[in-house]
Amino acid sequence: MQSQVRGTGGVLALSLLISGCAVGPNFNAPAAPVNSDQYSYTGKAKVTETVKANTFAGQSQKLSSGQDIPAAWWEVFHSEALDKLIRESLKHNPTLASAQAALRQAQENYNSQADSVLYPSVTGNLGAQRQHASAVSTNVPGGKVLNLYNASVNVSYSVDVFGANKRGLESVQAGVDYQRYQLEATYLTLTANVVTTAIREASLRSQLQATQEILEAQTSQLNVIEKQFTVGAIPKASLLAQRNLVAQTRASLPALQKSVDQTRNQLAVLAGKLPGDADLPEFSLDNLQLPQELPVSVPSALVRQRPDILAVESLLHQASAQVGVATANQYPQFSLTGSYGYSSTDSSKLFNNSMSFWSVGGGLVAPIFNAGALSAKRRASEAAYDQAAAQYRSTVLSAFQNVADTLRALELDAQTLKQQAEVEALAKDTLELTMKQYKLGGVSSLTLLDAKRTYQSARINLVQAQANRYADTAALFQAMGGGWWNRPELADISRTDGTTEKALPSAQ
């Protein structure tokens, strides 16, 4: 009974020796902010609804805290053309393809290292050689020429007693996670860029259309003034002033058209196509719907949603694992080796039992003196961890600033649109009244010219304010993380260590 206990204890000791432990810090994700509402983002009173404007794109938008974000968030604009363009971009964009390849590379690097760490290394050897053996070894005067054949299997295994291999594998796993979140960040950036570029094109087209309509009205007015000047009803100064206004308006058209063309070129590149070969839809604000309900994630959820935050968290995890590697390297390293094979001078007898050989061995390598190099490497890894922690905090701060800026833009741009709609309406009424007064001789041509310029500026500003509502909406979805975790193919992420996790990691 006593010998059985000793035998069981030996097996247990051997099991503990082989499984080992991992020295160094165990990584825990930084704590998420505990604040639970929008107030944490802006530091101002919570806004649940934007103001309404009596104009196109002037709908009030409700901000809903805690509401989940759809994976295809761009569909809230209800534009089939936009949906199609994004699908094309996701299929052909080279930047996204590069990020996908980087993730595959990281996964395969993990697989290669996992195999070498988790399992013994087994190699086979089969060889034949012809050699001249000396008289001393053969007892034959003058020596003897021999044929030597051998076949063997060699096994080696590094016993990870202090977890150097485990921490190294953990570091590589964190690198895979980093590439995964980099891919999601690229995905989000691409879709957001397509949406905002399409909105910019729609805005520019509306500005171009408004300018063309203003030019037509000004040209018609110029024809009337030219007739009045011909009959001597008005001075030449009034005619020149109107001609100058028409010329200025016409001169603004090429710049707007250039911006439209450059925007379409950008859309083509985002879709992975050459500008000259791209068959792209044309976007206008009339074909985009402004969503009336917007999701706003609470701060504690934001850090688990934004891929840029998750990416730098993975780098922090990687740095933590490297501290463990540097710590384990200060301890002894154990190894087991074994071999079994056959060796013979006669190939026909190579696999006879009498020709077999085997060996089993163990080794230990311990640092005795290295002039403090290993300690210095550990301190360097700790400094790298501190650097990664600071970078994480910086990324979180930038993310919260991004959300705060976007929320304030939603609120204030809605107010701007309301005010700009009033400005445009007043400018239009003023222009109509001034034109009537001018016909009756009540105001000068310069007064009429100023009224026309004011209305032209107000109308262009109104279009820009309308487009800002759409752009702010897209910016909010991007700031919230884009809903990537709700994509069907990411319902469960297969991790490289063989386990699965939800696409949206929970706070650790």
3-state secondary structure 457-506: HHHHHHHHHHHHHHHHHHHHHHHCCCCHHHCHHHCEEECCCCCEEECCCC
- Say if residues 478 and 192 touch (Cβ distance below 8 Å): yes
In whole angstroms, how far apart are CA 298 and each of 45, 65, 432, 465, 495? 15, 6, 50, 28, 27
Closest CA to 320 of 389, 395, 387, 385: 385
Closest to 266 (Cα-Cα) out of 343, 194, 211, 314: 194
Both structure tokens of 188: 């989000």
As its CATH architecture, domain 17-121+160-334+373-502 has Up-down Bundle (1.20)
In contact, 115 and 195? CB cutoff 8 Å: no
CA distance 294 to 291: 7
pLDDT, average across residues 344-357: 78
Mean residue pLDDT across the chain: 85
Q: Comparing C-alpha atoms, which of 302, 280, 316, 285 is closest to residue 389?
A: 316
- Cα distances (angstroms) measured from residue 121 to each of 53, 172, 381: 72, 20, 29
pLDDT attached to residue 35: 62
Per residue in 22-78, pLDDT (tens digit) is 888 899 989 887 765 555 788 777 788 999 999 999 999 999 887 889 999 999 999
Does residue 499 carry a pLDDT above 50?
no
Name which of 341-345, 440-444, 477-481, 504-508 the model is least confident about.
504-508
pLDDT, position 341: 83
Q: How many other C-beta atoms are found inside a 10 Å radius of the C-beta of residue 378?
A: 20
Decide if 327 contacts 23 (C-beta within 8 A): yes
pLDDT digits (tens, 9 = 90+) for 223-275: 988 888 888 888 888 889 889 989 999 999 999 999 999 999 999 999 999 99
Phi-psi region of 376 (alpha: psi -120 to 50; beta: other; left: phi over 0): alpha
Label residue 1 by pLDDT band (50, 70, 90). very low
Report the pLDDT averaged over residues 451-458: 90
First to last CA, the chain: 46
Greater confidence (77 vs 15) lies with: 77
Q: What is the pLDDT of residues 103-160, one digit of tens each?
A: 999 999 999 888 777 788 888 888 888 887 776 666 777 667 778 888 889 988 888 8
pLDDT(80) > 80: yes
Instruction: Give the pairing of strands 500-502 and 492-494.
Output: antiparallel
Strand partners of residue 494: 500
404 token code pair? 């705060």
Distances (CA, A) of 288 to 56, 255, 480: 11, 24, 21
**Using an 8 Å Cβ cutoff, are 296 and 65 in contact?**
yes
pLDDT value, residue 114: 82
Q: Residue 328 above 80 pLDDT?
A: yes
Give me the residues paired with residue 334 across strands: 159, 364
With beta carbons less than 8 A apart as the criterion, state whether 211 and 249 touch: yes
Residue 470 phi/psi, 5-degree rounding, is -70, -45
What's residue 8's pLDDT? 36
**Whole-structure pTM value:** 0.84
Answer yes or no: is pLDDT of 450 > 90: no
Cβ neighbours, 10 Å, residue 119:
9
Q: What is the DSSP letter of 100?
A: H
**CA 362, CA 2: separation in Å to the nearest integer?**
28
pLDDT digits (tens, 9 = 90+) for 396-430: 999 999 999 999 999 999 999 999 999 999 999 99
At residue 466, the pLDDT reads: 95
Say what the pLDDT of residue 242 is.
87
The whole-angstrom separation of Cα 383 and Cα 348 is: 62
Mean pLDDT over 99-104 rounds to 95
Residue 441: pLDDT above 70?
Answer: yes
Going by the DSSP 8-state scheme, the letter that residue 303 receives in this structure is: T
Q: What is the pLDDT of residue 20?
A: 52
**Cα torsion angle, 299, 304, 306, 308, sign:** positive
Give percent of the chain above pLDDT 70. 90
Cα(403)–Cα(296) distance, rounded to whole angstroms?
A: 9
Q: Reading across the β-sheet that carries 144-159, which strands appear in turn?
A: 121-133, 144-159, 333-344, 356-365
